[in-house]
Amino acid sequence: MRVTPLKALPLEQLRERSSTKWRTYPADVLPLFVAETDFPLAPAITDRLARAVTLGDTGYTPPDPGVRDAYVAFAGRRFGWAPRPDRIRTTGDVIMGVVELLRRVIEPGDRVVVTPPVYPPFYDAVPEAGGVVERVPLSAGPSGHELDVAGIEAALAGGARAILLCNPHNPTGTVHGREALAKIAEAADRFGATVISDEIHAPLAYPGTGFTPFLAASPTAARVGFAVTSASKAFNLAGLKCALMIAGDDQHARVLRSLPAEVEWRTGLFGAMAAVASFAPESDAWLDSALAAIDENRRLLADLLSRHVPGARYRMPDAGFLAWVDLGGLGWGDNPSTRILREARVALHYGPAFGDEGRGHVRFNIGCSPEVLTEAVERIGALVDA
């Protein structure tokens, strides 16, 4: 049965929003940079938050707002995975969770593996937790970017104490395979290291890509790892502040319980309410429609680039609404987004922020209408022969 793609809101309505995407640049700029989508909220979220506003339900977040049970049920439906509720705690956002967990599993000065090109806040989160970033770039495999398992093993053998994964990967949209995840888990176990997996984009894995939560990759993965996730990317809730930290075994659950109460107090009440509504069964149809819309856009982008920016190199992502595009062949320098913003009035996330491997690249946000995406690429295309 074909799913009807979700329609983005009209541009004039979107410009009434007060979030970063719509308040960073002037109105003549098409903003396709930060990871906010242009869709209306899922109805269950709107209803829950509207009811809270009507009631004046704006106090402190309760000890158990229902997020853990809602996520466990969601993970079962979407991933075939059943984490235990008593091994889950919440906090404000994924990077908060990453930092707090790293503080518990490394000592000051320990090295932490990251896999660039990767989400820029990783480079800040590791030193915030007292660690030192060790870069093990993704490899270019026959089907796209892949984890360099041998390189990660070598880093662990050399003394790295933790691995910070991004699965699905930002910015490439790669869904890391179960076999690679299991191998990394074995290496971490062998060298006494810990894996922390940022899985915020997991709800946006396209059907058939075979997304595997790290903690479900193998019994060893459950023993050596944590996952940190949120409804915020899939359901556009970044401003509401709610993320989940998940342990795979009792020992790591004790680490979660040892975190100061303040870590959980950072969970926003509206974030918790919206997360419960997002993970509820009645939001599944909305999520499927959003995925259908983004799926059409990832294919549209390939067509638009081939027609208007033929020097671009692009592989469609396996998950999410972020597209990683190599414009290095156009001669626009290490950071082509600067010229694109200045001359085409399109704001893209600049590639070098993701690591040295991002030179010559840009990251498109394709969680928008086909019309906005088309106009953006046409504007960029006009620079090719200028």
Residue 61 has a CB neighbour count (10 Å cut-off) of: 20
Q: How far is CA 323 from CA 32, 34, 62, 141, 380, in A?
A: 10, 12, 38, 18, 15
pLDDT of residue 271: 98
How many other CB atoms sit within 10 Å of the CB of residue 163? 27
5 inside domain: no
CATH number of the domain within which 36 lies: 3.90.1150.10
pLDDT of the residue at 96: 98
Same domain for 22 and 113, yes or no, is: no
Same domain, 251 and 359: no
Tell me which residue of 366, 224, 350 sits closest to 298, measured CA to CA.
366
Tell me the β-bridge partners of 228: 198, 245
Q: List the chain residues with pLDDT less than 70.
A: none
Domain-embedded: residue 122:
yes
Residue 221 CB burial class (10 angstroms; 0-12, 13-18, ≥19): buried
pLDDT of residue 143: 79
Same domain, 230 and 252: yes
- pLDDT for the residue 302: 98
- Sequence-distant (≥ 6) Cβ neighbours of residue 379 within 8 angstroms: 30, 344, 345, 346
Residue-number span of the structural domain to which 359 is assigned: 11-43+284-384
- 178-192 pLDDT, tens per residue? 999 999 999 999 999
Is residue 360 domain-shared with residue 225, that is, in the same domain?
A: no
Q: 94: part of which helix (H) or strand (E)? A: helix 94-105
> Whole-model pTM above 0.95?
yes
Number of folded domains that form the chain: 2
What pLDDT was estimated at residue 2?
86
Residue 67 lies in a domain: yes
Amino acid 385: pLDDT = 79
**What would the pLDDT profile of 327-368 be if each residue is shown by its tens digit?**
999 999 999 999 999 999 999 999 999 999 999 999 999 999
